[in-house]
Amino acid sequence: MVQILEFEREIFALETQIHDLVSMSHMYDSVGDITHEIAKLKKKLRRMKYEVYSNLKGWDKTLVARHPDRPYTLDYLNLIFEDFFELHGDRHGGYGPSIVAGLAKFDGRSVMVVGHQKGRETKEKIRRNFGMSQPAGYRKALRLMRMAEKFNIPVITFIDTPGAYPGVDAEEKGQSEAIATNMFSIIQLKIPIICVVIGEGGSGGALAIGIGDHIMMFEHSVYSVISPEGCASILWGDKGKTSQAADALCITANDLLKFKVIDEIIREPLGGAHRNHKQAAIRLKKSLRKNLDRLTQVPLGELTQLREKKFREMGKVIEEGT
């Protein structure tokens, strides 16, 4: 069943109306020629979608980013990569199903793809732990990114997680250590790394595969230090304040581009990536190709220096009278 978000209701009502008119005109000759009316309604629909989707606020975007029909890592792997061969395990007793990784062909060249994976059906959702990775997932990611460095293969990461898994076993196996070690190690990898937030960029769990040379976000994805719900319950003491919290946290792609935390926004098809996987994938492909071409030209020593500099400059402080 299609899940309809609150602000999409009008859009869907109009879409249904158009659909009904079209089928009626096919079924009954007595309806006469209504192509003109239909064209008018379609134009109205486009305008409506444009208006709704260009005015989404933080919380609305969070809902879009979490939409069950939104394309996941494996969807993009199917749509714009070839010969994907999945590689499993952290080699230290962990499987890490919330992150998929492996070698693939992109535009004729080998790449290492690493991305969070949420499930679409209930069983798959549970198997993927809703995209909340255990330490093993991050360790697998690092293992394969190191391998990519060894064979001079660029890395592409897809970020889509509510956060690193908060569970007893995750703590026992060193969730903190896994995330910290990834950042510590990935910053030095002598290979181009492109990171794309495709859905939810959930805090440390996102950052663990979020260090790279070029960071992109899909237009309606979000990236935040804490979920709006978590923030609302801690700071407002009221879970109902999610919308305020989302606004206050500045989690949209536009916010992050303005803050220079990300480098590029990938525009989504009208009505959001969840309504048109193929179009979203085509746009992603274009951005990936452009940036891979550019980054593979940069000498590797310079690349890591630029990467370090990029993260060194993040943050805003006031420095008085030096």
Determine contact, residues 1/39, Cβ cutoff 8 Å: no
Instruction: Output 65 or 211, the one with its CB closest to other proteins.
Output: 211
Determine contact, residues 73/100, Cβ cutoff 8 Å: yes
Instruction: Output 156 or 179, the one with its CB closest to other proteins.
Output: 179
Nearest approach in angstroms of CB 240 to other proteins is: 13
The angle formed by the CA atoms of residues 285, 289 and 291, to the nearest 5 degrees, is 120
Instruction: Output 78 or 185, the one with its CB closest to other proteins.
Output: 185
Instruction: Output 151 or 184, the one with its CB closest to other proteins.
Output: 184
**Of 306, 152, 316, 297, whose CA–CA distance to 250 is shortest?**
316
Query: Which positions touch other proteins (CB under 8 A)?
Result: 164, 166-168, 170-177, 179-181, 183-185, 187-188, 203-204, 207, 210-211, 223-226, 230-231, 234-237, 244-245, 248-251, 255-256, 259, 261, 308, 311-312, 314-322
Determine contact, residues 228/58, Cβ cutoff 8 Å: yes
Nearest approach in angstroms of CB 7 to other proteins is: 23
Nearest approach in angstroms of CB 84 to other proteins is: 28
Pinpoint the alpha helices (H) of 87-227. 122-127, 135-150, 168-172, 175-186, 203-207
CA–CA dist 310, 307 (Å, integer): 5
Nearest approach in angstroms of CB 244 to other proteins is: 8
Determine contact, residues 153/103, Cβ cutoff 8 Å: yes
Instruction: Output 34 or 225, the one with its CB closest to other proteins.
Output: 225
The residues, ordered by sequence, that sit 6+ positions from 122 with a Cβ below 8 Å of its Cβ are none
Q: What is the Cα Rg of the chain in Å?
A: 21
Nearest approach in angstroms of CB 217 to other proteins is: 11
Nearest approach in angstroms of CB 70 to other proteins is: 21
Instruction: Output 11 or 132, the one with its CB closest to other proteins.
Output: 132
